[in-house]
């Protein structure tokens, strides 16, 4: 296996064993154990063993960086993954989109508890779905992606170069009845964050790409982060992305070039591990919104025993008692796991250049243990932090 390792010596305390599952949650004042680089590498190597051409992760621990990469960034040329590549971050995009709307709320231009139809008249039937419900996946709207990608490879090829109007995607959702009444329950749907992008454009009179750029990319100096929709290319040095076919034994599909128009503000941003770490650190340390809006983003509704969802922000409760905030992402060719501590002092971004492969996603999720608990990431099949439900594209069995 091809392996690259880069580490700046850590300054934190020596690694400690994970406390039992019933341990009390840590507070921001509690020191975290030193990240476990061996466990981090083991998790990435297991992802490659499970079918990803390559994988990489970066931990930023108050300026001390631990970076590991394994495998290939490009199967055709044999180029080795070195961790500096750009890649499609999938639903981690939702955190960026939520930040834009929370900033608009800070500016008094958006009421989170107002109906969506106040700002987008006629988009949804009735006036019962609020902006807050959209950002928290509590609108009850159906996820149109379930129809588009019932079969992963044919579904992808049908939309690879297609350009959708946002209204088309919402209308695809509205062909189905609501999953539940607005506010009643969490139900993940890309439809919600297509609507969030539409709200940003209606309120500002500018493309959502310009809002991302001027509110987040430029102020944070995110040199590797782009919203190129409807362009199909990943700018600069990047990892090529590979979609696992529906039928076992068929060759991987190079899915790098695509519009991602079916996802747009729900999943089309391109970035790097460094830039995503920088973004999460800035967000959770309070540099992008007011303290009140950040508290609203982090106020999460329980989804499973170990996961909760706020406003565009997931919370993961790890076995060692640490809770981290961020998002997972899946878009054709790439899986991403990106989380940080509640105060933003330590962040992790990991990705694999594969999708439609559940075992790879599960294994990638185990980088969280190594990053925040200081214990070896578990091998597939063993105990450890389970992966979040895949976002944007649901992987089917390989």
Active site annotation includes 91: yes
The tokens describing 191, both together, are 């439809």
What is the DSSP annotation of 140-181? ----THHHHTSSHHHHHHHHTT----HHHHHHHHHTS--SS-
What are the DSSP calls for 197-244, one per residue?
HHHHHHHHSS-HHHHHIIIIITTTT-TT-B--TT--PPPSSB---EEP
Distances (CA, A) of 251 to 59, 145, 243, 398: 32, 24, 9, 11
The single residue of 91, 261, 271, 272 carrying the catalytic annotation is 91
* Tokens found for residue 24: 């009390």
Length of the chain: 398
Classified as helix, coil or strand, 294 is helix
CA atoms within 13 A on the CB side of 251: 5
Structure tokens at 312: 């565009």
Rounded Cα distance between 188 and 198, Å, is: 18
Q: Which of 192, 202, 190, 179 is CA-nearest to residue 124?
A: 192
Identify the three-state secondary structure at position 284.
helix
Residue among 4, 45, 53 nearest 357 (CA): 53
Count other Cβ atoms within 10 Å, centred on residue 136.
24
301 phi/psi in degrees, rounded to 5: -95, 130
In this structure, are residues 118 and 132 in contact, taking their beta carbons and an 8 Å threshold? no
Residues marked active site are found at 91
């Amino acid at each position: 296996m091809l392996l690259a390792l880069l580490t700046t010596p850590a300054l934190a305390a020596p690694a400690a064993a994970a406390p039992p599952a019933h341990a009390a949650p840590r507070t921001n004042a509690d020191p975290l154990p030193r990240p476990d680089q061996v466990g981090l590498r083991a998790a990435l190597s297991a992802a490659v063993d499970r079918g990803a051409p390559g994988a990489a992760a970066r931990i930023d621990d108050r300026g001390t960086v631990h970076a590991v990469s394994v495998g290939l960034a490009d199967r055709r040329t044999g180029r080795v993954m070195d961790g500096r590549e750009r890649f499609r971050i999938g639903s981690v995009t939702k955190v960026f989109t939520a930040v834009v709307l929370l900033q608009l709320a800070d500016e008094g231009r958006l009421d989170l508890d107002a109906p969506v139809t106040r700002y987008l008249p006629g988009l949804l039937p009735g006036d019962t779905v609020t902006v807050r419900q959209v950002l928290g996946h509590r609108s009850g709207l159906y996820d149109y992606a379930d129809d588009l990608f019932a079969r992963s490879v044919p579904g992808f090829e049908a939309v690879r170069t297609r350009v959708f109007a946002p209204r088309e995607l919402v209308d695809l959702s509205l062909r189905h009845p609501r999953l539940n009444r607005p506010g009643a329950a969490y139900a993940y749907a890309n439809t919600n964050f297509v609507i969030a992008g539409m709200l940003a454009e209606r309120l500002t009179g500018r493309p959502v790409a310009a809002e991302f750029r001027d509110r987040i990319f430029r102020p944070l100096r995110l040199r590797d982060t782009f919203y190129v929709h409807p362009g199909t290319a990943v700018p600069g040095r990047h990892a090529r992305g590979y979609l696992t076919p529906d039928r076992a034994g068929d060759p991987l599909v190079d899915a790098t070039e695509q519009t991602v128009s079916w996802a747009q503000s729900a999943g089309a941003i391109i970035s790097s591990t460094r830039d995503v770490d920088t973004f999460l650190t800035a967000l959770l340390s309070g540099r992008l919104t007011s303290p009140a809006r950040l508290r609203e983003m982090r106020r999460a509704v329980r989804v499973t025993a170990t996961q909760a969802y706020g406003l565009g922000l997931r919370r993961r409760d790890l076995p060692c008692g640490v809770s981290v905030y961020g998002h997972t992402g899946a878009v054709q060719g790439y899986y991403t796991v990106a989380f940080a501590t509640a105060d933003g002092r330590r962040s992790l971004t990991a990705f694999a250049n594969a999708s439609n492969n559940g075992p790879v996603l599960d294994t990638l999720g185990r980088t969280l243990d190594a990053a925040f608990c200081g214990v070896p990431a578990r091998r597939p099949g063993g105990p450890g932090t389970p992966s979040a439900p895949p976002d944007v594209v649901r992987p089917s069995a390989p």
